[in-house]
Amino acid sequence: MRVFWTVIVLVILVTGCEDNRIYEQYIDFEEGYWLVDNKPEFEFVIDDTNVRYTLYGNVRNAVSYPWSRLFMTYYLQDSIGNQIHKSLISDYLFESKSGEPLGTSGLGDIYDHRLMLLKDYQFKDAGKYKIKFEQFMRTDTLQGVLAVGLRIEKSVKP
């Protein structure tokens, strides 16, 4: 009987957690670095234009990443290739004074970071969209970046 109630509680907890994520994908850099001419692209579909979305750029890095910050540009395009948004973003991957890694870690010296691209963004039209990322550092080879990704969530109403 105790096992039965434990299973019921777990089912309620798992189904009670609402995940607002509608899209999440990564592109891995097998060599352990991000080349300047490698511009990962992510294609996704927006069906509901009445909903606001929050878009994140995900970065996975090793502690061997040689700088404290990362600069990258993203380009948001509609289904026919028109650029509808572009921005250079930067974030700290390591604490600037102590050098301690930031982000979340699940595998020893590998850290994940979620960088805000657009908050509460409302797409004008339903259809396919594309986001392209470009590393914007002062080197052609960005050592220690293992993957780049895109996450899209439905914005939570306050």
Q: In this predicted model, what pLDDT tens digit does every residue of 116-125 receive, in sequence order?
A: 999 999 999 9
- Structure confidence at residue 105 (pLDDT): 82
The pTM (predicted TM-score) of the whole model is 0.83
Q: What whole-number distance in Å separates Cα of residue 11 and Cα of residue 35?
A: 44
Q: Which residues contact 120 (CB under 8 A, 6 or more apart)?
A: 52, 53, 54, 155
Structure confidence by residue, pLDDT tens digits, 11-63: 444 444 558 999 999 999 999 999 999 999 999 999 999 999 999 999 999 99
Q: What domains does the chain contain, in order, with CATH numbers?
A: 20-154 (2.60.120.380)
- Structure confidence at residue 4 (pLDDT): 39
Q: Which carries the bigger pLDDT value, residue 138 or residue 26?
A: 26
C-alpha separations of 139 from 37, 40, 135 in Å: 11, 17, 9
- Structure confidence at residue 13 (pLDDT): 42
Q: What whole-number distance in Å separates Cα of residue 75 and Cα of residue 86?
A: 5
Structure confidence by residue, pLDDT tens digits, 63-103: 998 989 999 999 999 999 999 999 999 999 888 887 788 87
CB 11 within 8 A of CB 115: no
- Structure confidence at residue 158 (pLDDT): 60
- Structure confidence at residue 16 (pLDDT): 44
- Structure confidence at residue 9 (pLDDT): 39
